[in-house]
Amino acid sequence: MGKILGIDLGTTFSAMAVMEGGESRIIENKEGSRTTPSVAALAKNGEILVGVQARRQQVTNPKFTISVAKRLIGRRFSDKEIQNTKRFLSYEIKEAQDGGVEVKMGEKWYKPAEISAMVLRKLKADAEDKLGEKIDEAIITVPAYFDDGQRKATKVAGEIAGFEVKRVINEPTAAALAYGLNKKKDEKIVVYDFGGGTFDISILEVGEDTIEVKATGGDTHLGGEDFDQKIMDWLAEQYKKDEGIDLAKDPLATQRLKEAAERAKIELSSSMETEVNLPFITSDSSGPKHLLYKLTRSQLENMVREYIDKSLDLVRQTLKEGKLEAKDIDEIVLVGGQTRMPAIQEGVKALFGKEANKSINPDEVVAIGAAIQGGILRGDVRDILLLDVTPLSLGIETLGGVNTVLIAKNTTIPASKSQVFSTAADNQTSVDVHVVQGERSMVQDNKSLGRFILDGIPPSPRGIPQVEVTFDIDANGILSVTAKDRASGKSQSIRIEGSTGMSEEEVERLKREAETHAEEDKKKQELVETRNVADSLLYTAEKSLRDAGEKIAEDIRKEVREKIEALKSVKDKGTIEELKKAVEDLSQATQKVGSALHENHAKENPKQDSEAGEENQEAEYREKKEGEEGENK
Amino acid sequence: MKQKEKTNEKPDSQKLEAELYECMNNWKRTQADFENYKKGESSRRQDVELRAKKDILQRLLPVLDSLERALQVSYDSNKDMSLGLSQIQSQLRSALALCGIQEIAPAEGESFNPALHEAIGEVEGVHAPPGTIVRVAEKGYRYSESVIRPARVLVAQYKEE
């Protein structure tokens, strides 16, 4: 069985998605874009162009470039909306024999559904090309207010394009599906859809198996493009005032202004201020002219306040028509690129008193939901073997009481992971493996699952033994922890049942605790880690002093001894800053020992210089290994 | 799986076989899914890489356009300035070329092709065949097969029939 393509057939742009590996994913078109302009054209050379290519030739061919077919599809010519739309169209339309609408492209008259079919056919071909398989089935979305005739015409468009249209579903329903809101029985959902050219508001109610549309509202001639236009007008007006030049007369300048306006709008969604910088925008007798204006977020908000307020008024009106109040609404979903604007998000939040769902790309959420509907129809969801995940991280205690995580939370099980640790003291012959569960940095704040001792490690200096610790969780959540000394081959293990078997409340509590303590835990961990570094440095410094003996000058030895004492005095009670400083000082002093030894050696054995180099390297290697692998207590 | 299944009856071998078959089948399916996912991963990676490159380029191209515009102005009074600017331009161009970015710079008189060009306006009454490029307002750029930005052009007007 092939895949089902989920299609958001939009007024200005369309998008498509499929289910893959249990997830809905947007498919890029042939040009590499995630959205495709819903435009078709008959080029001067007789070729039919669809998508971005049709749009690129629009100015040279306005009469045969058909955009916004969605505003015409399935409507009667006498419809008020058609008469309203007619004045904005650059192409000819007429009443068809059946009372519907026909558009002229070249010598031929087409039904709007045939134009939409051209867009759908391109999407089909591009998706097939991208996925490398034939796609015959589709789910197509329509606005919730579409009547039966408009839905039928959309279905016909899909069929002309070669699809078997499995369902025509509502855009707001698809958006709700994308957020998995179909599982929330009896909840009421508001979908606030601010697109490029239209604003739609829908109120949905989730029933037993269905999502019912309770009310719809909006404005078919209000969209993000109006926001761009406002910015553009403002820029042109400012420029005219400052320079006395009307940029609207120059097509390239207009194009650049338009792009800059949209870019400024987008930037102001993430920053408070932006710069519209268009050098060499035009020229006059005095030479080239540049445009440079600052635009702040609040300036933009003031410019478009009327649009935002209008949209919110329409929300209130729709609530009223559905005999509902804002407090009755359980979930809000934001759709359409314009909803990225913070002022809109804040306005919606203030109206409903709660955060809206906005984590999925608002330009793609409808197509994603349509593909999910396809997945539900195909039974894709049933197919998947339900795999458990570890609800909390699993790790062991390392030097200083730090929780070193081996298997992170949310890892799909069965899973296994190994890591090599070493000893913290010279001649340490046993290690204590303490298994803990939880998200906190320090062992004491987590849950202890068990511990065991691995002994019989051959005596060697600290950092030399290699103890491999392996965590293995099977599909039933049973955790086995094994520690193995690589030198002696001795190993020891523990089996812990029910490592995932915590109650949900307990898991939630632990996660919450980890979040609230994240900052202080991080500080604690940093302190312990710095202390560990200090320990290891003290060890190396003392050792190098002993080894060097009388070979180096007394003043260097004295300095190192002083720094050692200084570090010891702050190691267990100083602040992290004092500790870091002392570590830095000692490490510099110790380096002098190394270079003094090296110089001596070079003087005594001028020819064997390379040997000394090797000795140094070995010492370095050891140090690095300790740092990399951590140390076991 | 523990106590419950320990009944007195002998396990039905057919049932066990069926279960085994199902388990094997599911396991193979999962393996296959994973293999397919890995295969898809490399193309997804390429897509992401391409998109990231395009994103950065789309932000950088206006700088190159501005340089181009700056160079179109004559610097009679300051030849060195003009020379410096054009050196900066060629520096940037060669850096882009090294990244595999190619210019789309149609010649005047070439036919308009919406796969590579975007018409920003029409020019009336020129002595040029209709539908040919009269002026390139901004160069376009492509990366392998993908058009990052079409060349912006002015096109000779078609006569109204």
How confident is the model over B55-76, as pLDDT tens digits? Answer: 888 888 888 888 888 888 776 6
Q: Name the most confidently modeled range: A84-98, A106-120, B40-54, B120-134.
A: A106-120
Encoded tokens for A485: 């000394």
Contact criterion met (CB < 8 Å) for B118 and A56:
yes
How many whole angstroms separate alpha carbon A340 and alpha carbon A344?
Answer: 8
String of DSSP letters for A112-130: HHHHHHHHHHHHHHHHHHH
CA distance B63 to chain A (A): 9
From chain B, pick out residues whose CB is under 8 angstroms from the CB of A27: none
Beta-bridge mates of residue A389: A412
Contact criterion met (CB < 8 Å) for B69 and A58:
no
Report the C-alpha dihedral over residues B74, B76, B77, B79, rounded to 10 degrees: 90
pLDDT of residue A57: 94
* Phi/psi at A319 (5° precision): -60, -45
From chain A, pick out residues whose CB is under 8 angstroms from the CB of B104: none
Contact criterion met (CB < 8 Å) for B138 and A252:
yes
- Which of B37, B47, B117 has the CB atom closest to A56's CB atom? B117
- Region class of A403: left (phi > 0), else alpha (psi between -120 and 50), else beta: beta
Helix (H, G, I), strand (E, B) or coil at A94: strand
Do B90 and B111 lie in a common domain?
Answer: no
CA distance A145 to chain B (A): 35
Contact criterion met (CB < 8 Å) for A56 and B114:
yes
Do B23 and B88 lie in a common domain?
Answer: yes
CA distance B115 to chain A (A): 6
Domain boundary among the residues B81, B99, B117 is at: B99
- Which of B37, B120, B155 has the CB atom closest to A21's CB atom? B37
Mean pLDDT for chain B?
83
Contact criterion met (CB < 8 Å) for A32 and B54:
yes
Do B123 and B154 lie in a common domain?
Answer: yes
Residue B157 Cα distances to A62, A261, B161, angstroms: 12, 28, 12
- Which of B66, B122, B152 has the CB atom closest to A252's CB atom? B152
Report yes or no: A541 and A590 within 8 Å, Cβ to Cβ.
yes
Per the structure, the count of domains in chain B is 2
pLDDT of residue A624: 35
Query: In CATH, what number is assigned to the domain containing residue B115?
Result: 2.30.22.10
Mean pLDDT for chain A?
87
Residue A441 has pLDDT above 90, yes or no: no
Residue A501 has pLDDT above 70, yes or no: no
pLDDT of residue B10: 67
Contact criterion met (CB < 8 Å) for A280 and B119:
no
From chain B, pick out residues whose CB is under 8 angstroms from the CB of A28: 47
Residue A629 has pLDDT above 50, yes or no: no
Of A70, A122, A214, A289, the active-site residue reads A70
Do B119 and B151 lie in a common domain?
Answer: yes
CA distance B12 to chain A (A): 25
Burial A462-497 (b: 16+ CB within 10 A, else e): bbbbbbebbbbbeeebbbebbbbbeeeeeebeeebe
Number of neighbouring beta carbons within 10 Å of residue A298? 12
Which A residues in the span 5-24 are in contact with B, Cβ-Cβ below 8 Å?
20-21
Q: State which residue of chain B sits closest to A263, comparing Cα positions.
A: B59
Report yes or no: A196 and A224 within 8 Å, Cβ to Cβ.
yes
Catalytic residue check, A547: no
pLDDT of residue A383: 42
Do B13 and B91 lie in a common domain?
Answer: yes
CA distance A212 to chain B (A): 36
Catalytic residue check, A568: no
Of A137, A193, A331, A485, the active-site residue reads A193
How many whole angstroms separate alpha carbon A262 and alpha carbon A256?
Answer: 10
- Which of B147, B152, B157 has the CB atom closest to A255's CB atom? B152
CA distance A229 to chain B (A): 17
Contact pairs from chain A to chain B, CB under 8 Å = 69
Of A3, A8, A114, A265, the active-site residue reads A8
Interface residues on B facing A, Cβ-Cβ cutoff 8 A:
26, 30, 33, 37, 40, 47, 50-51, 54, 66, 69-70, 72-73, 112, 114-115, 117-122, 130-131, 137-138, 146-147, 150, 152, 154-155, 157-158
Q: State which residue of chain A sits closest to B152, comparing Cα positions.
A: A252
Q: Which domain holds residue B112?
A: 101-161
Q: Where are the alpha helices (DSSP H) in chain B?
A: 13-72, 79-98
Task: Give the whole-number percent of chain B exceeding pLDDT 70.
Answer: 89
Encoded tokens for A62: 């306005």
Contact criterion met (CB < 8 Å) for A60 and B155:
yes
Do B27 and B66 lie in a common domain?
Answer: yes
pLDDT of residue A6: 97
Higher pLDDT, A305 or A570: A305
Catalytic residue check, A306: no
Domain boundary among the residues B82, B99, B116 is at: B99
Least confident of A92-101, A305-314, B29-38: B29-38
pLDDT of residue A606: 62
Of A114, A171, A331, A521, the active-site residue reads A171
Identity of the residue numbered A265: K
Higher pLDDT, A169 or A569: A169
Calculate the CA B159 to chain-centre distance.
Answer: 35
How many whole angstroms separate alpha carbon A135 and alpha carbon A383?
Answer: 20
Do B17 and B71 lie in a common domain?
Answer: yes
Report the C-alpha dihedral over residues A239, A245, A250, A255, rounded to 10 degrees: 0
Beta-bridge mates of residue A15: A8
Do B14 and B46 lie in a common domain?
Answer: yes
Which A residues in the span 228-287 are in contact with B, Cβ-Cβ below 8 Å?
251-252, 255, 279-280, 283, 287
How confident is the model over B99-144, as pLDDT tens digits? Answer: 888 999 999 999 999 999 999 988 887 788 888 999 998 999 998 7
Q: State which residue of chain B sits closest to A249, comparing Cα positions.
A: B121
From chain B, pick out residues whose CB is under 8 angstroms from the CB of A385: 26, 30
Catalytic residue check, A171: yes
Do B73 and B109 lie in a common domain?
Answer: no
Q: State which residue of chain B sits closest to A49, comparing Cα positions.
A: B114
User: Residue B160's pLDDT band (boundaries 50, 70, 90)?
Assistant: low
Contact criterion met (CB < 8 Å) for A252 and B120:
yes
- Which of A44, A61, A280 has the CB atom closest to B70's CB atom? A280
Contact criterion met (CB < 8 Å) for B146 and A31:
yes
Number of neighbouring beta carbons within 10 Å of residue B25? 10
CA distance A264 to chain B (A): 13
Domain boundary among the residues B46, B68, B99 is at: B99
Do B13 and B51 lie in a common domain?
Answer: yes
From chain B, pick out residues whose CB is under 8 angstroms from the CB of A31: 146-147
Looking at residues A175-187, what average pLDDT do you find? 89
Higher pLDDT, A415 or A510: A415
Do B21 and B92 lie in a common domain?
Answer: yes
Residue B89 has pLDDT above 60, yes or no: yes
Residue B25 has pLDDT above 90, yes or no: no
Query: Looking up tokens 């940095």, which residue turns up?
Result: A441
Do B75 and B128 lie in a common domain?
Answer: no
CA distance A151 to chain B (A): 32
